[in-house]
Chains A and B, each alone.
Chain A
Amino acid sequence: MTTRERTIRGQVAVVGVGETTYYKHGRAPESEFALALQAILRACDDAGIDPRQVDGFASYSNDRNDPSRLAAALGLPELRFSNMQWGGGGGGGSAAVGNAAAAVAAGYADCVVVFRALAQGQFQRFGAAPPGGTVSGEAALTFPYGLISPAQRFAMRVMRFMHDHGVRQDAQRAIALASYHHAQANPRAVMHGRPLTAEAYDASRWIVEPFRLFDCCMENDGAAALVLVGADRARDLRRPPAYLLGVAQGSEHRNAARGHNAPVYASSSFTTVAPHLWEMAGLGPKDVDVVQSYENFTGGVLMSLVEHGFFAPEEANDFLTLENLIAPSGRLPLNTSGGNLAECYMHGLELQIEAVRQLRGESTSQVPGARTALVISGPMVTPVSSMVLGTEAMR
């Protein structure tokens, strides 16, 4: 496999990461904007970069914290790049990193921060119906039937996938157990000190079949940020660079066809995206040391792992066991910080941070000698995105 001539591979690195304390939703003592500022300052401090060197911002999912306000608040000498990745959910998490890296590689900016901040107590929760009595367009075809929340929207896809391939509930359970297992070692995790057993999973209530309570992400308050600079500059900074080896975004043919009419329906939207990722990275699933895969719902993780080539759908029941998914010695250590299920639903950006930690050897559930880390963002929405980070040795 060869990389293409036009590629971001190895040109840009994550040199700093920062995050606030992670809170249960509605519990953040500060405003959402203050949380964003805190995470950005911590990421700059981690990198050893003066915050006034930041000259660009990238985010996703209609983050409310406007880059121009951030630039004004931080007293930046100038703002050279501001970018919003279209699409809802967490599908834009890796794409935002890709967009920031592209800006650095293209010379639009020199030091770009990717961030996401959420304080849902101050705004609308994702998992509740929005206010208002009438709906139109796509929502008119779904809301009157009680098909409203993200869990309800995506259960239909996962149900079909499980039917087509004989996937059992235990496969989803293993994904939930792995996240909770790793959260017990991570003092930052909201579910630290709250272990989950297989019995407790089995006894938990249905949210919408085939998702039980523990198949669904939390909703949280907090903020996370990453600082990106060019590879030439990255080596001179305080921390070991995590190089972007590949990134891809998008979705399949007519994925957004209204009323659940996507031709490739039982998918996490990565069937066309993942091959682009591997081609750019010059790597394949066998080369990945650790995976951070966005859990909106465990079924989405399951399908996204299939679509990134880790196992065939028919192998899901055998592959997805707790033993296989946990650090340090599992076949595919997954969501080693606890992820969206048990660390924090920082809309997935905590997963990019955990990938960087793994490459620095600083995870609370470290995979020994990890040199490559895959991050998968927002399965089942459109557009989705995924990225591979690597150490200096992999560049």
Chain B
Amino acid sequence: MSAATSYLPAGMPRPVSEPDGLDRPYWEGTRAGELRIQRCRACRGWQWGPEWICHRCLTFDLEWVTVAPRGRIYSWERAWHPVHPALKDHGPYLVVLVELPEAGGVRMLGNLLGDPQQAVQIGAPVEAVFEPHDEAAPPFTLVQWRMTP
């Protein structure tokens, strides 16, 4: 699903693909509403974050695979102190590290949508929410998370 608005205020740093193209398929995937990560064609191991080589079998033969947009909370934090000008006077917000059991246990980051003061449980199931920033130059889409209903 997609979010209608952004979780954090406008003016946060905007992600762009690396100049060498390593992570371009990931960012193209989020624009399409898909969560894509690397998988090795040789040993079938999952890999995230992206790298040019498979850390298990050392082949360069990696493909990008769309994975199920769900996982469970591996760790979390509630940030209060605004370190970026866009966050001044915003108040607390939640960041979660989400483990994807269906993709070799790789972990992904994002904000946990909903009440920023909510209690957060490590291990709780979450699902991805795609947050488009169509007006940005260049446009991008963030992957956010919400508690599985």
| Contact surface of A with B, Cβ cutoff 8 Å | 127-129, 132-149, 151-152, 155-157, 159-160, 163, 205-210, 254, 257-261, 265-266
| CA A86 to CA B142, docked complex, whole Å | 31
- Verify A145–B14 contact, CB threshold 8 A: no
| CA A156 to CA B108, docked complex, whole Å | 12
Is B146 an interface position by the 8 A CB rule? no
- Verify B142–A144 contact, CB threshold 8 A: yes
Q: Give the residue name and chain of the B residue nearest to A137 (CB).
A: B18
Interface residues of B in 2-58 (CB under 8 A from A): 8, 12-19, 23, 27, 48-51, 55
B83 touches which one: A129, A134, A157 (CB < 8 A)? A129
Residues of chain A within 8 A (CB-CB) of B76 are 156, 159
Contact A206-B75, Cβ < 8 Å, known A141-B49, A145-B110, A258-B50: no
Is B128 an interface position by the 8 A CB rule? no
Residues of chain B within 8 A (CB-CB) of A147 are 77, 79, 95, 109
Residues of chain B within 8 A (CB-CB) of A163 are 75, 122
- Verify B16–A259 contact, CB threshold 8 A: no
- Verify B93–A146 contact, CB threshold 8 A: yes
- Verify B19–A208 contact, CB threshold 8 A: no
Interface residues of B in 66-88 (CB under 8 A from A): 74-81, 83-85, 87
Residues of chain B within 8 A (CB-CB) of A152 are 77, 79, 83, 95
Q: Count of chain B residues with Cβ under 8 Å from any Cβ of A? A: 40
- Verify A135–B14 contact, CB threshold 8 A: yes
- Verify B18–A261 contact, CB threshold 8 A: no
| CA A146 to CA B81, docked complex, whole Å | 10
A159 touches which one: B55, B75, B108 (CB < 8 A)? B75
Q: Residue among A138, A156, A157, A210 with the most chain B CB within 10 A?
A: A156
Residues of chain B within 8 A (CB-CB) of A137 are 18, 23
Is B129 an interface position by the 8 A CB rule? no
Q: Give the residue name and chain of the B residue nearest to A163 (CB).
A: B122
Shortest distance between the CB of B115 and any CB in chain A (Å): 15
Can you spell out 13 A-B residue pairs with CB atoms less than 8 angstroms apart? Answer: A127-B83, A129-B13, A129-B83, A134-B15, A135-B15, A144-B12, A145-B111, A146-B83, A148-B84, A156-B95, A160-B122, A205-B80, A209-B80
- Verify A208–B80 contact, CB threshold 8 A: yes
| CA A210 to CA B79, docked complex, whole Å | 9
